Structure 1
Amino acid sequence: MIVAFKRPPTAQEAVLEELRRAILAGELKPGTQIVQDAFAERLGLSRVPVREALKILEGEGQVRYSPHHGYFVTELDVNELLEIYRIRELLESEAVRLSVPLLGDEDLARLEQAIEDMAEASGRKDIVALTAANRRFHFSLFEPSGMHRMVRLIRQLWDSSDPYRSLYFGEPVHRDAVDREHRQILKAARRRDSEGLVHLLDEHRSHAIDELKKILGEEAS
């Protein structure tokens, strides 16, 4: 039996993965300074891959650089959230319309499995696993479109908004709402109802925006 070779991550990829996990898990909160030397020492690496990973996250908008001070986790902003979700609406609607005629049984199975994985992660209060399963669910709808550049742009927008998503999933009532909405989306996908899917996804994003605006408003006050 031949076992598929799995390339180990580079030091930069390992740091990037850990930084993303720490931000999603709320260990690195918005506004927190990321001390490069301390983070490198924690992972047993040099400072170089940490700096490279931070530059990638800066490009995504997840961290910001302040001259003479260093890198900080980006603070959450309602206007930024609205802009990201508006661009997502435009791109994701087009991707779904292109995907629906091409959806196969394997795609539907991935959607269903992602829902079950989210429910399991929610029960464990594992926000990192929950967020990963949520991403698998949505991209199982986008990727069959075959529009690789468009899907890559959508993925970049998701990277930028992961801290918001993590905040949203922190509340059990929101996790329950997402589960209900995802199951309705799956039903529409099974019917190959492209316009119904677009409508349900619009509502899905709108509900998240409304709740996040409340959360961010409460934190600001």
Structure 2
Amino acid sequence: MAQDGTPRLRTVVTVQHATLSWLREQLATGRLKPGDQVRQEVLAREFGVSVPPMREALKTLEAEGQLVYHPHRGYFVASMSYEELAETYRIRQLLETEAITRSVPLLGAEEVARMREAAQVMEHSHGTADVRAIAEANRVFHFTLFDAAAMPRMADMIRVLWGSTDRYRARYFSTAEHRRRVNREHRQILAAAGQGDAALVAELSHQHRTHSLDALARALEDSTDRSAACG
């Protein structure tokens, strides 16, 4: 953790990893918006890498559904889709419930303390609306639970699903009401985890996902309505 309470990002060990992380940030923060064309040469120059690692990162994001590739035209940022988001959340529910069921009985004081620290960072960042810090602390909070299941392949699958919806998550955290709800729900999950109640942690986590999905459904519907009106 940094001295100001902001969680540090995981150490980057390869140019490919650094490039992919940077692109994810551009998507999550909205710098690259749905429909934008993604020019690999321009982005490579901006980030200070050669074209090959940028190209590989773009292919990874295409496989996740965050970008689409059109022959002879290149890559474009994919539109936001409620159907895609709902399907991803359903798959997450299946995997995360299994991970939580296995992990909660294995949680030690260190894992609970890490979750508490991440929750505190989120609450500290709420007032500044630092979406990047909030999103990173949120990831630490939840993946402390998932990783404790000691099933690394499952945790990696969940990470891929999370990565594919970072754009949606950043949009959710940008609203103060949503941040307050997340902080409140995290405190409830933390209390249940500290008590070793796996069933309650799983249920609270399900409600947590459902609330965010419902809010994003409304936001995406509003965006569609505004676009239609402008058109």
Aligned partners of 2:128 and 2:103: how far apart in 1? Answer: 32
Q: Who is 2:18 aligned against?
A: 14
Q: Quote how far apart the aligned CAs of 1:70 are.
A: 0.9
Q: RMSD in angstroms over aligned alpha carbons?
A: 1.5
Identical amino acids, percent of aligned pairs: 47
- 1:117 corresponding residue in structure 2: 121
C-alpha displacement of 1:7: 7.9
- Alignment-mate amino acid for residue 74 of structure 1: A
Equivalent of 2:171, from 167, 174, 192?
167
Task: Identify the residue that residue 130 of structure 2 maps to in structure 1.
Answer: 126
Aligned to 1:98: 102
Counterpart among 146, 151, 156 of residue 147 in structure 1: 151
Q: Which residue of 1 aligns with 2:139?
A: 135
Task: Name the amino acid aligned to 1:37.
Answer: E
**Structure 2 residue aligned with 1:33:** 37
What one-letter code is carried by the residue in structure 2 that aligns with 1:32?
D
Distance in 2 (alpha carbons) for counterparts of 1:82 and 1:76? 11
Structure 2 gap ranges (5+): 1-9, 226-231
Aligned residues of 2:12 and 2:18 also touching (Cα < 8 A): no
Unaligned runs of 5+ in 1: 1-5
Question: In structure 2, do the counterparts of structure 1 residues 110 and 77 end up closer, same or farther at CA, with 3 Å as the change threshold?
Answer: same
**CA offsets 1:39-89 (integer angstroms, 9 cap, x no match):** 112123222211111111112222111111111122110111110000111
Per the TM alignment, residue 179 of structure 1 is displaced from its structure 2 partner at its CA by 0.3
Matches within 5 A, 1:60-99: 60-99=64-103
Cα distance per residue 1:135-167 (max 9 Å; x no partner): 110011111111111111111111111111011
Query: What is the CA deviation profile of residues 144-194 of structure 1, one whole-angstrom value per residue up to 9, with x for unaligned ones?
Result: 111111111111111111111011111111011000000000000011011
Number of positions where the alignment pairs a residue of Structure 1 with one of Structure 2:
216
Matched AA of 1:110: R
Match of 1:213 in 2: 217
Contact 1:35/1:71, CA 8 A, preserved across alignment: yes
Task: Please say if residues 24 and 127 of structure 1, whose CA atoms lie closer than 8 Å, have aligned partners that are also in contact.
Answer: no
Instruction: Give a deviation string over 1:93-138, Cα, whole Å, max 9, x none.
Output: 1110101110000010010011111122332222122111111100
Instruction: State the match for 1:3 in structure 2.
Output: none
- Aligned AA (2:118): A
- Counterparts of 1:116 and 1:7, CA distance in 2: 22
Mapped partners of 2:212, 2:29: distance in 1: 18
CA distance in 1, matches of 2:76, 2:202: 36
Q: Give CA deviations for 1:2-30 in whole Å, capped at 9, x if unaligned.
A: xxxx9864332222121111111111112
Give the residue type in structure 1 aligned to 2:37. Answer: Q
Secondary structure, aligned partner of 1:145: coil
CA pair 7-88 structure 1, distance change in 2 beyond 3 A: closer
